[in-house]
């Protein structure tokens, strides 16, 4: 039901548990850390869509008078959100 995860270290393919989708898991064969494809849950998707919408809104608002500054502000929001998402 989930996408299988492929270990880049030993080439093993395994079925991740539901709570492991979109996260990091240790390979059952070689024990090294593997990134499991897929998204964590609908809330996570909603959060990402919200962040992109916020970046566009900020970029549009700031860029009304100065378009280059608007693009920079939008990129800053996206970059900040990306950094935040790495902390989870
Ligand atoms: Zn492995």
The domain limits of the chain are 5-35, 42-87
Q: What is the pLDDT of residue 41?
A: 66
Per-residue pLDDT of the chain (88 residues; tens, 9 = 90+): 567 889 999 999 999 888 888 889 999 999 999 988 876 667 777 888 999 999 999 999 989 988 999 999 999 999 998 888 777 6
Of the candidates 2, 80, 84, the one whose C-alpha atom is nearest the C-alpha of residue 40 is 2
Pairing of the two strands 5-6 and 13-14: antiparallel
Residue 13 DSSP SS3: strand
If you measure from the C-alpha of residue 68 to the centroid of ligand 1, how many angstroms do you get, rounded to a whole number?
45
What protein residues have CB closer than 5 angstroms to ion ligand 1? Answer: 7, 9-10, 12, 27, 29-30
CA of 26 from ligand 1 middle (Å) equals 8
Q: What is the pLDDT of residue 46?
A: 84
């Amino acid at each position: 039901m989930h996408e299988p995860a492929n270990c880049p270290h030993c080439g093993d393919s395994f079925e991740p548990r539901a709570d492991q989708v979109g996260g990091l898991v240790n390979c059952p064969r070689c024990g090294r850390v593997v990134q499991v494809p897929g998204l964590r849950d609908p809330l996570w998707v909603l959060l990402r869509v919200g962040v992109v919408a916020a970046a566009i809104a900020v970029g549009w608002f700031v860029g009304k008078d100065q378009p280059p500054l608007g693009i920079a502000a939008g990129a800053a929001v996206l970059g900040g959100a990306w950094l935040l998402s790495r902390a989870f």
